[in-house]
Amino acid sequence: MKRKVFSLVLLLGIGIMALQIPFSVLVGGENQHFSLFDFMAPSLGGFLGPFVGVISVIGIKVVNVLIHKGSFDMVTIIRLFPLAAGALYFSLKKYRPLMAIIPVAAIILFVAHPEGRAAWYYSLYWLIPIVALFARKSLVFTALGSTFTAHAVGGVAFLYAFNLPAAAWIALIPVVFVERMIFTAGVVVFYLVTNSALAKLSTFPRFSVVSRLVNHNYVLSSTFFKKFV
């Protein structure tokens, strides 16, 4: 039990530290930014499983707010859930087709809003996680689908919470492409590095428990190396 707790605390500690390193500014949120945690969060679903992974992502963000004595305003509350959705997408295997529900619902809700309807083609980005479902064994497509699932949840939430104008969504289209490609690459790199580190750590008898985390998604890593390396 101590070793299991150690593995979990190690990942959660890294998550807290990753949240302290800003990456880019979040449009529509005052003093809000994306961080390196956006690269890490989906992998928590892969290493810890859907339930623990989702709870861990939300828990890390809640703890971070408490550490900084922040307030749980609308933006903070909204931002608890997009990465959790991304972690869920990353973690599910057998029932992964069900993850199409989230982007489909996001597209419908986006177009149903007057401002979203005026920029309806922005929501076409959320077809990507649906298409990515057809490449189940590809780490790259899993990461791509994961980051766009998080984007779909966050996008719809911000639209309805703050009524961002259509012009803002249209202006964001090229920004989102670059941003999400970087996030996808970051998720892939983080997963492979962490998976390799856990595999190395599992060779030591005292930390053999982490082999469970490594074996959980070993197929994804091996498939990635065979196809793209």
- The H or E element that residue 25 is part of is strand 22-25
- Cβ atoms < 10 Å from Cβ of 107: 22
Residues 168-218 have pLDDT tens digits of 999 999 989 988 998 999 899 988 888 887 777 666 665 555 555 555 444
* Rounded Cα–Cα distance for residues 118 and 166 (Å): 6
Backbone angles phi, psi at 87, to 5 degrees: -65, -35
Q: Give the C-alpha separation, 146 to 158, whole Å.
A: 19
pLDDT digits 0-9 by tens, 57-73: 998 888 888 888 778 88
Name the phi and psi angles at 22, rounded to 5.
-70, 150
192: its two tokens? 């492979």
pLDDT of 95 above 90 = no
Angle at 144 between CA 140 and CA 145, to 5 degrees: 120
Residue written as token pair 């990461």? 143
Model confidence over 171-184: pLDDT tens digits? 999 989 988 998 99
